[in-house]
Amino acid sequence: MKQNAYAKVNIFLKITGHKEGYHTLLSRFMRVKHLYDTIEFVPASCSSFTIEGCGDIDTQSNTIYKAFVALNEYTGDLDILEYFYNHKVVVTKNIPSQAGLGGGSSDGATFMRMVNEVCKLGLDVDTLAKIGSTIGADFPFFIHNYESANVLGFGEIVEAFEEEALEIELYTPPIGCDTAKVYKRFKQAFFGDIKRSSFIGWEQIPSRELLARVDALNANDLYKAALLEYPKLKEYAPKGWYFSGSGSTFFRVID
């Protein structure tokens, strides 16, 4: 079994508050159709859960492994354990890490959807998304597998937005942005400046139209925080491009 795990960009990302130690947000996530990792289940005799293709990432830290553990804990289904004694997970990585493209979350979410199918767990999408949200805020979007969606709260609220994914060009500079550090910097420097009235109704505006109305700094609240945390980003920023997530990828729409 083999499936693609697509990257995403944040057309816009606005911080709406802070609760229980985490920021809440309103964002438009959009699939990047030309950039994806592949996840494959390959027959093999394995004494423990085995992942290949993720470089030097420790298995315990891998989002795919975390998804494996979460599914086991939620279902208690021994068929999952049995399956991965007889199969290994092979990942072909194309999505850069620490780039604001959701690669790790997409891999983990795609893995969960695949396991739900091959092990016949019978879990609906909302249940899978709930399990995934315990691992990462981007998981629910990738579980739902929409081309475009508004994402709210801690990332657990995902509402499909009816539009085709745009043709997106990406540029990822040789800088990795730590998501936790960027959010921390935002809270320190910009949290008090939140004006929710400035983005009322954005969730109803088509992505292409919205990007035509705002620049990169106004589209993504985390961009200013990332520039403070990683000043060299400014040297790489292409004029007129937008910033995805906590970075470091810039993107633009191809007309």
Catalytic machinery residues: 8, 138
For the stretch 217-220, contacts whose Cβ atoms lie closer than 8 Å and that sit 24 or more positions apart, written own/partner, are 219/11, 219/12, 219/13, 219/243, 220/10, 220/12, 220/13, 220/244, 220/245
For residue 252, what are the CA distances in angstroms to 15, 43, 99, 193? 22, 40, 15, 27
Pairing of strands 51-52, 87-92: parallel
User: At what angle are helices 221-229 and 179-189 packed, to 10 degrees?
Assistant: 100
- Alpha carbon dihedral 157, 242, 106, 162, in 10-degree steps, equals 50
Per-position b or e across 198-218, b if 16+ CB within 10 A of its CB: ebeebbebebeebbeebebee
For residue 241, what are the CA distances in angstroms to 85, 172, 253? 46, 12, 9
